[in-house]
Amino acid sequence: MRKVVAVELVSVDGVMQGLGSPEEDRDGGFAHGGWGAPYAGEVQELMDPGSLEATSAYLLGRRTYETMAAFWPFQPDENPLARHLNATPKHVASRTLSRLDWAGSTVIGGDLGRAVRELTGEGDGVITALGSGVLVHALLRLGLVDELCLFVHPLLLGTGKRLLRELPAPRPLRLVQSAASSGGTLLIRYELGAAG
């Protein structure tokens, strides 16, 4: 049975909005888009090379899928992340998309919980949810995230969408890994316990 690992890049105050580019997500008048660019090297420094090999599928929300599909299919295979993303199945949770152009992508609709439980029962490895804050929050509420992998960047944004919001019950976490980059980014991996 595969586990679901949510990989998230956030500021110290938990903001994940508009990480990649100024126009990525301007909801609510967010004016700090692209804030994550200076930390790309920090993520590379901390990333476990084996995490790509362990990932047998990706789980993405609609907005994250659209952003990634506009970039990664056009990157050369010499980039290990591009090679893996382009070759690995991608499951997109969406109520509005019906056609996906990025090779290896399929829409999962309907009952999210049932669809993700079916995916975890198929094959080996890890299903990695990248970004996709709305989706990951829904999965957390359903108790379907097995592990959180947080890259916490040394920055306070003060405004913007946050990854961790209201949950129906407390969730205990067990630290399985922590590390710091030379520039102060923290990698923190937690296993999630049952809701209490």
State pLDDT tens for residues 32-77. 989 999 998 888 889 887 788 899 999 999 999 999 999 999 999 9
DSSP the chain: -PEEEEEEEEETT-B-TT-S-TTS--GGG---TTTTGGGHHHHHHH--THHHHHEEEEEEEHHHHHHHHTTGGGS-TTSHHHHHHHHS-EEEE-SS-----STTEEEE-S-HHHHHHHHHTSSSSEEEEES-HHHHHHHHHTT---EEEEEEES----SS-BS----SS---EEEEEEEE-TTS-EEEEEEE----
- The answer to whether the beta carbons of residues 32 and 10 sit under 8 Å apart is no
**For the whole model, what pTM was predicted?**
0.93
CA torsion sign for 75, 150, 23, 134 is positive
- Give, for all 196 residues of the chain, the pLDDT tens digit: 899 999 999 999 999 998 888 888 888 989 998 999 999 888 888 988 778 889 999 999 999 999 999 999 999 999 888 999 999 999 999 999 888 999 999 999 889 999 999 999 998 999 999 999 999 999 999 999 999 999 999 999 999 999 888 888 888 999 999 999 999 999 999 999 877 6
Locus of tokens 């090297």 = 41
Long-range (24+ apart) CB contacts under 8 A made by 110-117 are 112/138, 112/139, 112/142, 113/142, 113/144, 115/91, 116/4, 116/59, 116/142, 116/144, 117/144
**Domains in the chain, ordered, with CATH?**
3-192 (3.40.430.10)
